[in-house]
Amino acid sequence: MNFQVVQMLASLTAAGCMRYPYASGHLIRTGETSTCLAALLGLNTADRERIRLAAPVHDIGKLAIPDDVLLKPGRLDPPERTIIERHSSIGAELLAGGADELLQFASQIARYHHEHFDGNGYPAGLCGERIPLAARIVAVADAFDAMTEPRSYRPAMTDDEALSVIASGSGTHFDPHIAQTFQEGISEILRVREATNRALASGDDMELVARFYGLRLHANGGLRAIAP
């Protein structure tokens, strides 16, 4: 593992945590939920770890979205929706600037996690298995977490309501096998989420990010790898 790349992902996650209220919870929970879902799907240890490290930066492109759109206290109109949809391509391009395989992997997740299984997503309109597997996994984890969080324009959904949305989107919005696995494994996913929420309540954003990535938080606020 390239610790410089891990530090870079951690720093980007920390930046994302400051972009909007409660971002840290969403980013870290999406990382943990995606990893749990990958395990339920039978992915090997190495692939699960790549997803864990990369998933929290799936929305890093939101750093470039104007506040009046990203933080709008209401539903977006069509022009605003076009602006916010750019975050996937912006984030992908930011991450693709490095040659490291993990950065390229994270770039794919950022670019394609809003693609729909039926081809009606964005930015590329990919469908089915043309969408990278990791992006299909993060799409379900991201959606569930977003739906069960309050937003300025709606209250949080219950877990059952969010599960119903995932079930109804199986085969259209979501990969049907991944959606089914998510529903069948919901007890384990909720256990992971509860454990993550306990961790989220025990420190500030930088401490949380450092722990998540296995780094040490220095007194000056920097993130450094922990020596073996």
Catalytic residue among 48, 50, 62, 113: 62
Residue entry with tokens 């770039």: 107
Residue 62 appears among annotated catalytic residues: yes
Q: Can you tell me which residue has the tokens 């997740």?
A: 109
Q: Which helix (H) or strand (E) segment is 217 a member of?
A: strand 215-217
Q: Which of 187, 210, 190, 186 is nearest to 198 (CA)?
A: 190
Q: Alpha-carbon distance 31 to 27, whole Å?
A: 6
Distance CA 116, CA 93 (A): 20
Q: How many CA atoms lie within 13 A of 166 on its CB side?
A: 31
Looking at residue 219, what DSSP letter applies? Answer: T
- Residue 226, helix vs strand vs coil: coil
Bridge partner list, 174: 170
Active site residues: 62
